[in-house]
Structure 1
Amino acid sequence: MTLLTLTDIGYQVGNQTILHDINFKVEAQDMITITGPSGSGKSTLLRLIAGLLTPTNGTISLAGKAWQDYDPILYRREVSYAVQQPQLFGTTVADNLRFPFEIRQETFAPERAIAALASVNLPADYLDKPVNDLSGGERQRVAILRNLLFPPQVLLLDEISTGLDEDNKQILHREIQRMNHENGVAVLAVTHDNEEISGANRLIKIVGGKMEVSE
């Protein structure tokens, strides 16, 4: 099933063309890696798909409907974006895991949050742990759980494993792969990590703002 369609996507700032003529489709359970040199437009592409930027040309559609026609909050529930430097808020881990419930006007379920923590090797008492006391790897794990407590249709990952040690990388990889296999979440990951590249079922290469390889 096609979840996401990019048609003739271009993005320009002033006289500078960042992306030009990007075309591809994303199917349920896709695991897509986006590679290319630094400055080639990879992260800009993810921000466009996330609805954080507006294409200069072309259309991005989710389930056959242009992203601009969605309520922004509803769109971002289905197309979730995770970045290299996780932005945690509030005081505790619980504040961050409560947020996905609040924006859906649902009652926070601590037992569900605890089960999610366990899935990334964090104990139950971390619910009350101050976010300022978390290591970089722990912060990234909590940020990913915030994205996945209610599985989106599409998960966008912008170099989330950069700077993490091997243990934290493996924990993140395992949980993301589980959501991909069990929940059908399509994953688009910008990365330079060889393991993440080899684990993709499709590879898209962006060079100079153009899609050079798609397979």
Structure 2
Amino acid sequence: MADVLTLHQISLTIRGKTLLKDINLSIPKGSFITLAGPSGAGKSTILKICARLLTPSSGKLLYNERDAFLIPPQDYRRHVSYCFQQPVLFGETVADNLNFPFQIRNQVPDQERQHALLDQVNLPADYLSKNIASLSGGEKQRIALIRNLMFEPDVLLLDEVTTGLDAENKQIVHRLIDNYRQKGTILAITHDQEELAQAEKIVTIKGGQIHE
């Protein structure tokens, strides 16, 4: 199966400190790869390079065998979507967030699609008018995730998205991710023992390197 993302000899040094060293990682289309390892090992740094939020000091990131850093950022991020550990919402309402993926594509927001995704995460359609300041942490995470999935990306990068969620919210997020994984590719970070036990493939990162 063809690789959708390939990290080739990726290293990153910032202010004299080596954060990653010679990372080689192939992410086949349709795979679900989980990065594990201690805090500070470099897992989030790898995800941020894959999302093009950081630029490596050396090495290459390939997207479908093309140099990812030669693709216009807005185009790239439509295909490779990054979900933060702490959900980042903007504007005033849920609609402000769920309209955004349509606005950047110069399209009219599809309320039917918005309602369908809200329903997938157990939220009613009238949440579109809800003020984001009134949302719980779990609701914010669900809104952030379905914003990323309004137009399904080729690759979903998940940075500990279930951290701090209660069992019910965790189950809802797992169901949403399971629905997506039938069609897309996932690179995820987790410390959750239950998620690690169910992982399809685990890559362990220690001290900025892949630990076999």
How far did 1:24 drift?
Answer: 1.3
Matches for 1:1-215 after TM superposition, within 5 Å: 1-181=2-182, 183=183, 185-213=184-212
Distance 1:65 1:140 in 2: 32
Q: What SS does the corresponding residue of 1:89 show, helix, strand or coil?
A: coil
| CA RMSD after TM alignment | 0.8
**Which deviations, in whole Å up to 9, do the C-alpha atoms of 1:114-139 show, x marking residues without a partner?**
11100111011111111111100000
Is the Cα contact below 8 Å between 1:50 and 1:76 reproduced in 2? yes
Q: What SS does the corresponding residue of 1:26 show, helix, strand or coil?
A: strand
Q: What SS does the corresponding residue of 1:150 show, helix, strand or coil?
A: coil
List, as ranges, runs of 4+ consecutive aligned residues in structure 1 with deviation greater than 4 Å. Answer: none
Distance 2:23 2:176 in 1: 29
**Which deviations, in whole Å up to 9, do the C-alpha atoms of 1:60-101 show, x marking residues without a partner?**
010111111101001011110011111101111011000000
How far did 1:15 drift?
Answer: 1.6
Q: What SS does the corresponding residue of 2:202 show, helix, strand or coil?
A: strand
How far did 1:200 drift?
Answer: 2.0
- Larger mean CA deviation between 108-117 and 194-203 belongs to 194-203
Q: What SS does the corresponding residue of 2:204 show, helix, strand or coil?
A: strand
Aligned residues with identical type, % of pairs: 49
How far did 1:111 drift?
Answer: 1.3
How far did 1:28 drift?
Answer: 1.8
How far did 1:204 drift?
Answer: 0.6
The residue type equivalent to 1:115 in the other structure is A
Question: What is the number of residues matched between the two proteins?
Answer: 211
Q: What SS does the corresponding residue of 1:33 show, helix, strand or coil?
A: strand
Distance 2:71 2:157 in 1: 18
How far did 1:195 drift?
Answer: 2.0
Distance 1:150 1:137 in 2: 22
How far did 1:209 drift?
Answer: 0.5
The residue type equivalent to 2:186 in the other structure is V
Is the Cα contact below 8 Å between 1:32 and 1:187 reproduced in 2? yes
Gaps spanning 5+ residues in structure 2: where?
Answer: none
Is the Cα contact below 8 Å between 1:33 and 1:196 reproduced in 2? no
How far did 1:207 drift?
Answer: 0.3
Q: What SS does the corresponding residue of 2:211 show, helix, strand or coil?
A: strand
Length-normalised TM-score, structure 2: 0.97
**Which deviations, in whole Å up to 9, do the C-alpha atoms of 1:40-71 show, x marking residues without a partner?**
11111111110011011100010111111101
Distance 2:157 2:61 in 1: 14
